Amino acid sequence: MGIYKTEVLVIGGGLAGLTAAISSASNLSETMIVTKTLVGGANTTSVAAGIISGVTNFKDPEDSRELHYRDTISGGHMVNDEALVRTMVNDFSKYLDRLLVLGLELEGDDEPRRILIPGHSKPRSYLIKGKCHSLQSLLRRVCEGLGVAFMERTLITSLIKDDERVVGAVGIRADNMEVVGIKANSIVLATGGSGELYPHTLMPLGSSGYGVSLGFRAGAELVDMEFVQFYPTMIAEEGLPKLFVDYAPLLKFGADILDGDGRSIFKKHGVVEPHRLTRDQFSIIMAKEMVGGRSLFLDCTSIKDEDLLGSPSLSSAVRDLESKNVPVRSKRIKVAPYAHFFMGGLKADPNGMTNVEGLFTAGEAMSGVHGANRIGGNALAACLVFGFRAGLAASLHSGTVNEPDDKLVKYSASKLVETINSEGVEEASRVKGIVQKNMWDGVGILRDKDGLEKALSIFNSLRGVKVSSNTPIDKLLIPMMLDNAEAIALSAMIREESRGAHFRTDFPETKDEWRKRIVLKLQEGECKVSFLVP
């Protein structure tokens, strides 16, 4: 058992975690990043397309922060946290400039090239050179230069509280199975999303939503958990790599989505400009067409050579696919929606502060920015803005409190040892498979009361199962996955309407009375539900 201490503990090593650590360390706080994979490595940022959106010094003369705000609220179907959206659009340029000074490069010649993507009324999105791999490598180097400590391949399993304040965390190192306790004055949860709740996702292995669970169990409020975004066009053909397909430029220049009989699904659904569809709209159409196990196909065979030469975004989309041996221009390719992004998470203010003293959050683990559906490019923008803000706020808070007591940390670490050593009956991989199947079948793109009730019943029954595994980390992740699964299913059951990425076949209309947010909080072992009007 190892006991460590730091002033600011950042849990998560993607864009939000790295920027939080840079912000904290730049404010002269002793800072540590703990991540269950690698810092700047296999996390949700690492599989992002490298598109970041916001109004900058390079903006379209007709664009404005107010327009970006309106697009984000409209894309979120009017249930966004308006203060968070204002903060993101107003602060984006400042923090992007900070990255550019650090060495970030954007695609473009004389100045960064702006592109128009679905959900935005103006071209305000930028492509990061080298995508997110280069960005995270850069930020890792900056963290190293600032003296940020890294503890990699370590799963944090619980937060430690002293009265109403978080004072540390305990976890287990994958490399040597050492149980660790970490004393901290402030904690930032920047753990990404929960893609692994579903069997079909391109999120990295281990994206189980554990940070959301950590916060929930520590008393933090969860909001918007029912809103799960599915990316509509993932390659699903045997023998081809599982990849995002950047659908907007392809559809704009003549590509189509066809059913098994060769008919356009857009014509069937009366869609005139499919390239303008947002991800929620597109995925719902796809899911309706796939009922009964039917397949859908991306057809790019009609794209013209002159269009490829004249459109950088089109040529980039085609080049990306062909470079990975996807014959996108010579044959139809099977595609399907995959779980992609979680709009719900921990409720926080514009400084990332939750309702628990000393606990902050940023990135995909934080709710409210995106409402019922995220528009493209806003994920990285939110990570950037709220990562920097949460890191600074955590640093400032750290200077106002006393160092935590060793006894609490040692006690929590000893309880974790007991949990690890407890015997189980059901193999963790099997329990995980049951969770994934019921999330896909009952809490997927198309939802109804029967499917949600069945899923909730199964998740509840799994609570009493004693899980076994040769790998303690797999065993410890199951309860955290169940926290997320139950929160999503419960919120989806409560919301008796369809809005954004949440579609109820038994309540297909959007209702004005449901322009409110569902809040979940763990109190005395029970999940309490309340509502919040934006």
- How far is it, in rounded angstroms, from Cα 506 to Cα 472? 41
Quick one: how far is CA 225 from the chain centroid?
12
Q: Which value, to the nearest 10 degrees, does the dihedral of the CA atoms of residues 152, 157, 162, 166 take? A: 50
How confident is the model over 467-501, as pLDDT tens digits? Answer: 998 889 999 999 999 999 999 999 999 999 999 99
How confident is the model over 160-211, as pLDDT tens digits? Answer: 999 899 999 999 999 999 999 999 999 999 999 999 999 999 888 778 899 9
Taking only Cα atoms into account, the Rg of the chain, rounded to an integer number of angstroms, comes to 22
Please, what is the average pLDDT of the chain? Answer: 95
- Is it the case that residue 125 has pLDDT exceeding 60? yes
Counting residues of the chain whose pLDDT is more than 70, the rounded percentage is: 99
Check if the beta carbon of residue 195 is closer than 8 Å to that of residue 207.
yes
Range in 86-95, 99-108, 444-453 with the lowest mean pLDDT: 99-108
Helices (H), 42-112: 65-75, 82-102
Mean pLDDT of 115-137: 91
User: CA quadruple 269, 272, 273, 277: dihedral positive or negative?
Assistant: negative
- Is it the case that residue 44 has pLDDT exceeding 80? no
The set of residues, in sequence order, having a beta carbon less than 8 Å from that of 168 and lying 6+ positions away, is 9, 159, 160, 181, 182, 183, 184, 187, 404, 408, 409, 412
- How far is it, in rounded angstroms, from Cα 46 to Cα 134? 9
Instruction: Look up the pTM and report it.
Output: 0.96
How confident is the model over 317-336, as pLDDT tens digits? Answer: 999 899 999 999 999 999 99
Check if the beta carbon of residue 203 is closer than 8 Å to that of residue 235.
no
CATH classification code of 2-227+343-411: 3.50.50.60
Q: Which CATH architecture has domain 420-532?
A: Up-down Bundle (1.20)
- How far is it, in rounded angstroms, from Cα 67 to Cα 427? 51
Mean pLDDT of 333-353: 98
pLDDT confidence bin for 42, thresholds 50/70/90: low
Q: Which of 6, 16, 5 is nearest to 369 (CA)?
A: 16
Q: Which residues of 505-515 are buried (b: 16+ CB within 10 A; e: fewer)?
A: eebeeeeeebe
What is the three-state SS of 79-99?
CCCHHHHHHHHHHHHHHHHHH
CATH topology of domain 229-338: Flavocytochrome C3; Chain A, domain 1 (3.90.700)
Expressed in percent and rounded to 5, the helix, strand and coil fractions of the chain are: 40, 25, 40
Q: Which value, to the nearest 10 degrees, does the dihedral of the CA atoms of residues 468, 469, 472, 474 take? A: -100
Check if the beta carbon of residue 304 is closer than 8 Å to that of residue 286.
no
Domains of the chain, by residue range, sit at: 2-227+343-411, 229-338, 420-532
